[in-house]
Structure 1
Amino acid sequence: MCAGRAGLRRLGPAGGNAASQTHGTPSIPRRSRRRKSIAIAYEPGQGDGVEPQRPRWEPRDWQEQLERIREMRRNRDAPVDEMGVQKCYDSSAPPQVMRYQVLLSLMLSSQTKDQVTSAAMLRLRQRGLTVDSVLQMDDATLGQIIYPVGFWRNKVKYIKQTTAILKQKYGGDIPSTVEELVQLPGVGPKMAHLAMDIAWDSVSGIAVDTHVHRITNRLKWVQKETKYPEETRVALEDWLPRDLWREINWLLVGFGQQTCLPVNPRCSQCLNQDICPAAKKH
């Protein structure tokens, strides 16, 4: 946002500038005692210390598209609804343990189908999933339990490193800010925002995964095409009303799993086919 114009320069003390008031220095004669009155037109907000409001960009038809997606997601029967991260933790465990399980399920879910993540979390919970139990577990055992999640070898390393940090720095709990969460090994922005939402009940930003990234680009919900999920998050948060930030991840992930698929999207089954900019391309 461009800043408003700088305020008008204030005149110095009456009688000229400082140099003209120095003893023995003659003042510069004025050409005229009367000055012309000049009308200055301010743009709204300028000159009063308030920056002008820029028109907020909004995608075409986005509200109607959103309502139609809600209708398509009305049954809540996508994999994310039944086996997503919000279903993977033990709701009867102490709050600190629940939060740890939420973070762990998010770490496992990266580039992994919800069904596989859910099964891995169930196996971990059957062994008593806590910070201490994971620290006492050797890498080979942890790997056997979480296999076949995507990149399971790397995730074994990240889980052990992150769990040790949580034990030493946070007393076994998880951080309560996005800034601290993304400093943990294996935790990215999407996971951090979801952890804030599910574990801390705090909406810190839009959680953008591959589904949200893909669909919002297809719908032209970004002014310019974005290449990475984090770019998409920034673009969406610039215009999407904050009261929709929590809903948008759940809504679009399920929509992406069932209808707006990565390859061969089911445009003929989509209620948005007549107002989707990408519908004719598939």
Structure 2
Amino acid sequence: MSSPFFTQSRTATTRVTRSGGGQRSGGTLAAALRSRLSGRQSEANTAPSVEVKVEAEEEKVSEQEEPFTAAPSTGDKLLQQSTVQPKPEPEASPPRRRRRLVKLEYEKEDVASGIKTEDWEPPAWKRQLEFIRDMRSGRDAPVDKMGAEKCYDAGAPAHVGVRRFQVLVSLMLSSQTKDQVTAAAMQKLRTHGCTAQNVLATDDKTLGELIYPVGFWRNKVKYLKRTSAVLQEEFGGDIPNSVEGLVRLPGVGPKMAHLAMDIAWNQVSGIGVDTHVHRISNRLGWLRKPTKNPEDTRKALEEWLPRELWSEINWLLVGFGQQVCLPISPLCSVCLNQFSCPSAHRSSPAKRPKSGPPRSPSPRIKAEPGRDQTINQKTLSPTGQRRVIICAI
């Protein structure tokens, strides 16, 4: 080709390749370039390795200084178990909301049984109690004049336990007995000498005559003898100062024990529940559920009734049961609780019976002397009542 461009380039190429000095210099330059490139490549290869080693050593140092938060492997777990490391202090967490506090406010735990029971009290019981206090303000019931608090000899020496012994004897005689009969029997015993030593020295026949006609007087003679023997031998004629010691005595139950602790020792240990307290508590609905005996009533009352009322409640309800809330035909029409009592007007008369002698029985038909009476015929009257026709022969 005749182009000057191609001619010039071919000439330059030929000049380089054919000259000997140029070939040597070109090889030297190529070798120098190669050495430089290889040196740079070696530096590039060696520098990262040094940096990687430094970073690896820094990571090891940081692992020793700071706790490892990743999931440890099996080897790490064994290493952690073999080396004792101080536990980090837990961070203060915000207080949690205790939801059970509201529930515990309405619950209490029975320590003996371990069962939690809800707090319960009968509705309007405070108002009913105030009405009973108003109706008992006269203090004219038999229990007010002839109760266990009135039967002991006030002049008897107290340091030898004579008063306390008489309180216990009056409580033992009052079981299944009216207060009037108990007071009369205690009067005869006090005249005879109502001490543990005198009771032991009295024969059973004489003792029975002294306490007659109290209920179950034969059994009570045995109980008095056996109780007096225990008291004389173990307590020097005095009575125990605990409920556990009192209930071990023959013829003494929980009601008598709690009343004896209150009257004789001036200590409130429980509620004395007799037939009146048992009946009225069920009628007023003062129990969570109806009870069948006084002991269950006592336990149910002590669950909710404030302790400061335990001593008063026996005296209030006993007199109230003797005058108004009678066992048969209670006088609901004169009771202040007739509108709140769930048992009001169920078996009570419309009006309070008039005071006076008891109704005399119907007159009997007397035959004339010398004549016999025989029933000849029985017919029914027009009103449906049976009519007896008596014919004289």
TM-score under structure 1 length normalisation: 0.84
Deviation at 1:40, TM superposition (A): 5.5
Which residue pairs with 2:29 in the alignment?
none
Which residue pairs with 2:230 in the alignment?
165
Q: Does 1:188 align with 2:253?
A: yes
Deviation at 1:237, TM superposition (A): 0.7
Deviation at 1:58, TM superposition (A): 1.1
Q: Deviations over 1:177-197 (max 9, x none)?
A: 011101100000110000000
Matches of 2:80 and 2:99 in 1, distance apart? 45
Q: Is the partner of 2:304 in helix, strand or coil?
A: coil
Q: 2:208 aligns with which of 119, 127, 143?
A: 143
Q: Deviations over 1:137-172 (max 9, x none)?
A: 001100010000000000000000000000111111
Q: Does 1:67 align with 2:123?
A: no
Deviation at 1:132, TM superposition (A): 0.8
Q: 2:302 aligns with which of 221, 231, 237?
A: 237
Which residue pairs with 2:143 in the alignment?
80
Question: What RMSD, in angstroms, separates the aligned Cα atoms of the two structures?
Answer: 2.4
The within-5 A match list for 1:1-282 is 41-45=97-101, 53-54=106-107, 56-95=119-158, 96-282=161-347
Gap runs ≥5 in structure 1: 1-14, 27-36
Matches of 1:91 and 1:264 in 2, distance apart? 37
Q: Which letter maps to 1:187? A: V
Larger Rg belongs to: 2
Deviation at 1:22, TM superposition (A): 7.1
Matches of 1:249 and 1:22 in 2, distance apart? 74
Q: Deviations over 1:180-222 (max 9, x none)?
A: 1011000001100000000000010110000000001000000
Deviation at 1:131, TM superposition (A): 1.0
Deviation at 1:275, TM superposition (A): 0.9
Matches of 2:247 and 2:192 in 1, distance apart? 27
State the 4+ residue runs in structure 1 displaced beyond 2 angstroms.
Answer: 20-26, 37-46
Which residue pairs with 1:32 in the alignment?
none
Deviation at 1:127, TM superposition (A): 1.1
Q: Is the partner of 2:301 in helix, strand or coil?
A: helix
Q: Identity of paired residues, percent?
A: 63
Deviation at 1:94, TM superposition (A): 1.1
Matches of 2:249 and 2:77 in 1, distance apart? 64
Q: Which has the higher contact order (CA 8 A, sep 6+)?
A: 1
Gap runs ≥5 in structure 2: 1-70, 83-92, 108-117, 348-393
Matches of 1:191 and 1:140 in 2, distance apart? 25
Which protein has the bigger strand share?
2
Deviation at 1:57, TM superposition (A): 1.1
**Mean alpha-carbon deviation: is it higher for 255-264 or for 37-46?**
37-46
Matches of 2:309 and 2:226 in 1, distance apart? 34
Aligned residues of 2:333 and 2:345 also touching (Cα < 8 A): no
Q: Is the partner of 2:345 in helix, strand or coil?
A: helix
Q: Deviations over 1:46-75 (max 9, x none)?
A: 9xxxx6551521111111100111111110
Deviation at 1:38, TM superposition (A): 11
Count of residues paired in the alignment: 252
Which protein has the bigger helix share?
2
Deviation at 1:41, TM superposition (A): 4.1
Q: Is the partner of 1:110 in helix, strand or coil?
A: coil
Matches of 1:105 and 1:25 in 2, distance apart? 77
TM-score under structure 2 length normalisation: 0.61
Which residue pairs with 1:33 in the alignment?
none
Matches of 2:250 and 2:77 in 1, distance apart? 67
Deviation at 1:23, TM superposition (A): 8.2
Matches of 1:166 and 1:278 in 2, distance apart? 44
Q: Which letter maps to 1:129? A: C
Matches of 1:153 and 1:38 in 2, distance apart? 74
